[in-house]
Amino acid sequence: MDVDKIVEGILSGNKRALARAITFVENEYPEGKEILKRIFPKTGNAHIIGITGFPGVGKSTIVSKLTQEFRARGKTVGIVAIDPGSPFTGGALLGDRLRMDGLDSSKKLWIDPGVFFRSMSSRGRAGGLAAKTGDTVRLMDAFGFDMILVETVGAGQSEVDVIEVADTSIVALMPEMGDDIQINKAGILEIGDIYVVNKADLGGAEKTERWIKAMLMMDQEAVEILSKTTHAQEYEVQTGRIFDKISRAGWTPPVIKTVADRGEGIPELADAIEKHFEYLKNTGKLLETRKHRLSREMIEILVQEIKNYLKKTDKVNFQEMVEKVSKNDLDPHTAVEKMMKSILKDYKD
């Protein structure tokens, strides 16, 4: 499949074309970049939803049930599920797909024409996403999915990168997760637009809910109780930062209790997601954050472009410049100014 066919395919709803495009992008083939350029005008319509949370909270089940719910509401859904890949062997077991429904003829997400599921390896990258998640989401967006769900690695590390791609970030927890400093340190609690306490039937869900609200400074009484605990200082730091975020946002993150296995709380979660999107649109925050994100992305591309240029050009000898600077023959600023001048003179396609 060549670039023309793939672009045409993506824009006309051919899943094979979409699948192949993701492969090109993921492996950094030159065709990938070309495809991304050409489909860009068609992007920007999907609602991108990120789901992050600790291992075992049931993220995959939430994704599966949420997909069913959105399908029932007439929406099409693209899913990007990221699993950890070993930085040593490069191998990965991508196991999220198999958690989508089962031998149950009433639910057929695997072959639903309105669903597209792609597993990706983080390939050793930290932050919870694969390097090309953003571009993959963009391809799905151009394909025309109404909703795109991004499920992070879920290894319990600082998986906060999801806010770089998602309009709505969901943080999933479960009962008895709470007074756990590890979770605070992972930083994921700061990023939620919506919080989910899954497996709420296990008991202790209210405690977790209250704790989240305390963290979000929404429950003054609980904050006071918390401040008396031994971890008070840590909480103070955390809550302070969160307070910043929510005062900026003007959105009160809801805490939704679910039993995703049984589909309980899923309609409420879907409602909250849709409500958040409305809020983003009505307040202009959608455009604002997307613009902010684009500016960051463009700087990244710019830096990458310069790196790539330096690798292949013979007009600038980067290593020689480094040598000179290290011998004090030149200072770093002057060196870069010199290089920029020849880059600008030389830069063509």
Partner 1 sequence: MEKKVRVLVAKVGLDGHDRGAKVVARFLRDAGFEVIYTGLHRTPQEVAMAAVQEDVDVIGISLHSGAHMTLVPKVLNFIREYGGDPDEMVVLVGGIVPEDEFDGLKALGVDGIFIPGTPISEIVDFIKETVPKKKGMKVKS
Partner 2 sequence: MDVDEVRKKREEWDKKCLRPFLEKSGERQEKFENLSWIEIDRIYDPSDIEHLSFTDDIGYPGDYPFTRGVYPTMYRGRLWTMRQFSGFGAAEDTNQRWKLLLKEGQTGLSTAFDFPTLMGLDSDDPLSDGEVGKVGVAIDTLKDFQILFDGIPLDKVSTSFTINPPAAIILAMYTAIGDAQGVPRDQLRGTIQNDMLKEFHAQNTLVLPPEPSVKVITDIFEWGVENVPKFNLISISGYHIREAGSTAVQELAFTIADGMAYVEAAIERGIDIDKLAPQLSFFFNSHNDFFEEIAKFRAARRMWAKIMRDEYGAKDPRSWWLKFHTQTAGCSLTAQQPLNNIVRTTIQAMAAVLGGTQSLHTNSFDEAWALPSEEAVRVALRTQQIIAYESGIPSTIDPLGGSYYVEWLTDKVEKLAWDYIERIRKMGEGSMLRGVFAGIENGFFVKEITNAAARFQREVEEGKRTIVGVNKFTIEEQLKIPILKVDPEVQRRQIERLKKVKAERDNVAVKEALDWLRSAAENDENVMRPILEAVKAYASVGEIMGVLKSVYGTYKKPIII
Taking the C-alpha atoms of residue 57 and residue 196, their distance in angstroms, rounded to an integer, is 10
Q: Which is nearest to 349 in space by CA: 309, 317, 292?
A: 309
**CA geometry: angle 258, 260, 261, nearest 5 deg:** 140
Q: Please, what is the minimum distance in Å from the beta carbon of residue 311 to partner 2?
A: 39
Q: Please, what is the minimum distance in Å from the beta carbon of residue 96 to partner 1?
A: 9
Q: Which amino acid is at 89?
A: T
Q: Is 42 exposed, middle or buried (0-12, 13-18, 19+ CB in 10 A)?
A: middle
Tokens describing residue 280: 């983003």
Binding residue count for partner 1, defined by CB under 8 A: 33
| Number of CB atoms found within 10 A of residue 339's CB | 19
Residue 314 binds to partner 2 (criterion: CB under 8 A)? no
The contact mask relative to partner 1 for 2-31 (x = CB under 8 A, - = no) is ------------xxxx-xx-xx--xx-x--
Cα-atom radius of gyration of the chain, to the nearest Å? 23
| Number of CB atoms found within 10 A of residue 214's CB | 21
Contact partner at residue 344 from partner 1, partner 2, none, CB < 5 to 8 Å by partner kind: none
Q: Which is nearer to partner 1, 65 or 257 (CB)?
A: 65
Contact partner at residue 104 from partner 2, partner 1, none, CB < 5 to 8 Å by partner kind: partner 2
Q: Please, what is the minimum distance in Å from the beta carbon of residue 135 to partner 1?
A: 15
Tokens describing residue 186: 């992972």
Q: Which is nearer to partner 2, 106 or 247 (CB)?
A: 106
The footprint of partner 2 on residues 67-106 (CB under 8 A) is 93, 95, 98-99, 101-105
Name 225's Cβ contacts closer than 8 Å, sequence gap at least 6.
Answer: 214
Q: Which of 54, 70, 117, 277 binds partner 1 (CB under 8 A)?
A: 117
Which 3 state secondary structure label does DSSP give 114?
coil
Span of 44-52, 99-107, 216-224, 291-299 interacting with partner 1 by CB under 8 A: 99-107
Taking the C-alpha atoms of residue 168 and residue 171, their distance in angstroms, rounded to an integer, is 10
Q: Which of 97, 245, 293, 324 binds partner 1 (CB under 8 A)?
A: 97
Binding site for partner 1 (CB under 8 A): 14-17, 19-20, 22-23, 26-27, 29, 85-86, 89-95, 97-99, 102-103, 110-111, 116-119, 121, 123
Binding site for partner 2 (CB under 8 A): 93, 95, 98-99, 101-105
